[in-house]
Chains A and B, each alone.
Chain A
Amino acid sequence: MLNSDYAKIEDIMAKFKFRKVLGKVLLYILTIFIIIVIIFPFYWLVTTSIKYGIDISATPPIIFPNRFTLENYITVFNSHIGKYILNSFIVSISTTFLAVLFGSLASYSLSKTYIGSKIRNAFLIGVLIVRIFPPVVTTMPYYLIITKFGLYDTQVSMIITYVAYSIPFVMWLMLGFFQELPSEIDRAALVDGCNLWQRFTKITLPLALPGIAVTAIFAYIMAWNEFLYASVLTSQNAKTLPVLIASYISDQRIQFGPMTATGVLLVIPVLLFSILAQKYLVRGLTFGAVKG
């Protein structure tokens, strides 16, 4: 080969390398932009909660505050927030437990009983219709029913409402997981002498655990963050954190400090929950994508 040939090859390789590097740089810029869009509101929430009142309403806005205070948190903790946190926990945990329990059982039976596919689909779509309505459509009926039963402003009323609202979601998600489980495993257990309950508890449930974890996290987040029903069905006793946050907006002013501080407190449990369950979450979200 001639020397000029080598030069040509080197030239081609250099161009190729340059393009590769350029592509990577552009990719990183795009990624950083997307991360900023996602992270910035959260950053703003956290920094606002530790700013002095005067810095919060400063113009131009202070993006990188240089002095910090915990006074917003102190205000929040002096206003009976413990009660509302407890309400939120009770309602969310009960909702998660009941919705996952009943929803999983329902979808397990749907995935295992050999009813006609038309009946099954009709049932599944019927269940889904509850979710298709905008929630605001059903708030008034719920309000009327709940007050009729004398359950207004109780945790029970919230739990009932949230469970009813979550079960379709749990059923659809869990149905996917149950159907992914190879039916031969279930049949093997049948031949090994298991009845339906043993098959569910000893075989299906352990195998569907990642699915249950994901479903539980989503159900929990839904109940924990829910605002509309909570604002309509409660006044004082059963009020949850999202309603408390909204109450910092009054006709005179918006108390940004306590509001953001409560917001941070609202996010922490969900964040911890998700990090702890991350292993299952990733596995669960990709479940069934490839045969494993």
Chain B
Amino acid sequence: MAEIRFENVTKKFGKVIAVNNFNLVIENQEFVTLVGPSGCGKTTTLNMLAGLEDPAEGLIYIDNEIANIQHPGKRNIAMVFQSYALYPHMNVFNNIAFGLKVKKVRKEEIFKKVNEAAKILGIEDLLNRKPAELSGGQRQRVALGRAIVRNPKVFLLDEPLSNLDAKLRIQMRADLRLLFNRLEGTVVYVTHDQAEAMTLSDKVVIMQYGLIQQVGKPAEVYDFPKNIFVAGFLGSPSMNFIDSILEERLDGTYIKTQNFEFKINNEKASKIKALNKLGSLIIGIRPEDIKIGRPDCLIDSKIEVIENMGSSYIVYFRVGSNRVVATTERYSNLYNGQNIKIGFNLDKLHIFNKETGVAAF
């Protein structure tokens, strides 16, 4: 069992800084997800932890031992690759057993362990097949088998679900969570899919341009994004952003956009003022926090498109020059081209500084 610590880790490829001053503590048995758009440095971070890349600066500790100087094979980690990276010339049994064979584990023990792992993953029938004869989901399980058979301190998973079709991906997502709950290992998981990050993790690390943008529990980073990038990255459909300014009037503080304005309480007003004196702001509101056609709705809008998702609708509104997305339950009486008033749930409103992207709340 392992605790992992990154201290000021930096990695450069030529002049490009892939990972910049990365600091993170991963607790024992924690499921941590590194998430971000492609090129944000998440895979590089994982590779450095695995020992496949050397950091330019900084130290990585696994169980208080400096891992930088250890050979990847000696770090007691297991990795599942995006392409699975199964050995094409070996059958499933040998693929899973390979790591143990390299370690010179006794034959009877290898046999026992491989069969155990195969049983956990439900691939006992496939042990004699070559990777080419397996489906994507089966290959995925073999790759996992290769990882768990070694009983490592840390599991590293690099976008393990991205090559599966949508249905299988959601099923495997739940299976993965169950599997790692049972194995009680420390897991570092890399993905660009915010849904995977939200559903699987104990802790989410959101990265962009090689920098950590925010670390926290999934609910925490979703409800209280620290900046506009995190706010926009998490959630599907993503948060609506509308340019606005702060306006002081005799009766209080208002937030004013091109098409509408609303009053905010003093506490929030002072938070915004602390953030940005000039008053150039962006308001953010999640699609599920938009009210449609209720008596207290005041913003004029026109429905552009309604997408039927089966269990819900995604509705695109035109508000002046802005497009606003909302989600709503099915069977609401909406139609394309309808003029309707919408409103924001002000408790769930987010305000960002337009220049820096930092959130006031």
Contact = CB atoms under 8 A, between A and B. Distances in A.
Q: Do A and B come from one complex?
A: yes
Interface of A: 182, 184-185, 187-195, 198, 202-203, 206-207
A18 to B, nearest CB: 45
A158 B79 CA distance: 49
Q: 4 tightest A-B contacts by CB?
A: A193-B73, A184-B85, A192-B99, A188-B85
A188 B79 contact: yes
B87 interface: yes
B85 A203 contact: no
B102 interface: yes
A203 B73 contact: no
Secondary structure class of chain B's binding surface, majority of residues = loop
Contacts of A189: 87, 98
Given A190-B51, A191-B73, A192-B98, 9 more contacts: A187-B79, A188-B81, A190-B72, A191-B72, A191-B78, A192-B73, A193-B71, A193-B72, A195-B71
Interface string B84-96: 0111110000000
A184 B81 contact: yes
A223 B222 CA distance: 69
Secondary structure class of chain A's binding surface, majority of residues = helix
Contacts of B87: 185, 188-189, 203
Interface string B80-114: 01110111110000000011001100000000000
A194 B85 CA distance: 15
B167 interface: no
Contacts of B326: none
Contacts of B82: 184
A185 B87 CA distance: 6
Contacts of B98: 189, 192, 202
A191 B102 contact: no
Interface residues of B, number: 24
Interface in B297-350: none
Given A182-B83, A185-B87, A207-B89, A193 B102 contact: yes
A66 B32 CA distance: 84
A182 B89 CA distance: 13
A185 B131 CA distance: 13
Contacts of A191: 50-52, 72-73, 77-79, 99
24 contacts: A182-B83, A182-B85, A184-B81, A184-B82, A184-B83, A184-B85, A185-B86, A187-B50, A188-B85, A188-B86, A188-B87, A190-B51, A190-B52, A190-B73, A191-B50, A191-B51, A191-B77, A192-B102, A192-B146, A192-B150, A193-B103, A195-B73, A198-B102, A202-B98
Query: Counting chain B CB atoms within 10 Å of each CB, which of A182, A184, A191, A193 scores highest?
Result: A191
Nearest to A206: B89
A221 B102 CA distance: 38
Interface in B29-63: 50-52
A194 B51 CA distance: 13
A73 to B, nearest CB: 44
Query: Counting chain B CB atoms within 10 Å of each CB, which of A185, A190, A193, A198 scores highest?
Result: A193
B74 interface: yes
Nearest to A207: B89
A184 B85 CA distance: 6
Given A194-B73, A206-B89, A207-B88, A187 B99 contact: no
A193 B99 CA distance: 7
Given A193-B99, A198-B102, A187 B73 contact: no
Contact of B85 (A185, A198, A206): A185
